[in-house]
Amino acid sequence: MPIPVSAIVASRLVSVYIMGLMYSAVVIIPAWIVYMVTAGVNIKNLFGGMILTLLISVFVMTLSCLLGYVVAKVSLKLKHKSMITVLVSLIFIGGYYFVYFKAQSMITDLLTNLVVYGDKIKGSAYLLFAFGSVGVGDAKATLIMLALVAVTFLMMWFLISKSFLQVATSTGKVSKVVYHKKTMKQESVTKALLFREFKHFT
């Protein structure tokens, strides 16, 4: 190819990163501002919030790309892709609304038992605790999370770069169709169009 694969992958990743940054910044920047207003502005939490925003956006991009890679690889093995896409979308939307309607009670429970959950997360899920500690300027947590996100991103880059051409040019699983001779009946334009749309729908 006249254009290197790495250049194509990089251009696609830039657009994915910008979209992820837009969505994650809407959540993290207001929380960061509220934290600084509450705890006071200093150099540590100022730079910590900026680094946390960067880490979240890169991590979101990495997860998005890995999910897209898995979906692309799975879809190559499947027939009836449109039906499966609709079913997966419905399941995702159902899960989203379930979490959305439960969010208020979950947040209330979290705020009520903040100290208990904080101790549990710090003890049994240290990476989550370290991820949050980046925002307050914890140097150790920042170095750990920078290394972790960088390794995850490089693994994703290597995986996508190696398989980009294969996934992009693959036609997927194609079943052989046996031709059977049959008599065609002429239909009206309206009936033929309606039948075709019902066929697309199913």
Domain boundaries, the chain: 5-172
Identify the weakest region by mean pLDDT among 42-51, 86-95, 163-172: 163-172
Instruction: Quick: pLDDT tens for 97-123.
Output: 887 787 777 777 766 776 777 777 776
pTM over 0.75: no
- Given a cut of 90, is residue 82 above it in pLDDT? no
Residue of 8 and 150 predicted with greater confidence: 150
Instruction: Quick: pLDDT tens for 51-80.
Output: 888 888 898 888 888 887 777 777 666 666
CA atoms within 13 A on the CB side of 2: 0
Residue 124: what are its φ and ψ, rounded to 5°? Answer: -105, -15
C-alpha angle 147-125-149 in degrees, rounded to nearest 5: 20
151: pLDDT confidence band, cut at 50, 70 and 90? very high
- Given a cut of 90, is residue 200 above it in pLDDT? no
Q: What is the pLDDT of residue 44?
A: 84
